[in-house]
Amino acid sequence: MPLTELMLQIQDLSKCDKLLLMQFIATELVKEEKSDVFVANQEYPVWSPYNCSEAANVLMNLLETKKQETLSVRLTGNLARHEAHAIIVNAQVSSFPRVDLAFA
């Protein structure tokens, strides 16, 4: 099947099915990846929110300003027993398309 046909069929999928498809494709890409991606004794930069108070303050301020906007959902699985709070932010970085980011 040509890619253009496949892309048309993907557009008809539900949001949930599209997310499952993304997960499937990401898993397939990992399977195809070389095992020698990392080289011994080489440094690789990794970003972490640890010790990054500015980012935490921005998220807390967003949460405070958005508290009045609520949406109740029912959690299942291992989170079903816990109360959850989250914020969804629509953001754009550089020329990349806008995306919704969820912080819980």
pLDDT tens digits, one per residue of 85-99: 676 777 777 788 888
Band of pLDDT at residue 100, cut at 50, 70 and 90: confident
Give ∠ CA 95-96-99 in degrees, rounded to 5.
135
Strand segments, DSSP code E, in the chain are 87-91, 99-103
Are 10 and 19 contacting, i.e. CB atoms less than 8 angstroms apart?
Answer: no
pLDDT tens digits, one per residue of 13-43: 999 899 999 988 888 887 777 666 667 787 7
Question: Would you state the pLDDT for residue 26?
Answer: 86
Is the model's pLDDT at 74 over the cut of 90? no
pLDDT tens digits, one per residue of 60-71: 777 777 666 666
Joined tokens for residue 72 = 């109740």
pTM of the model: 0.35
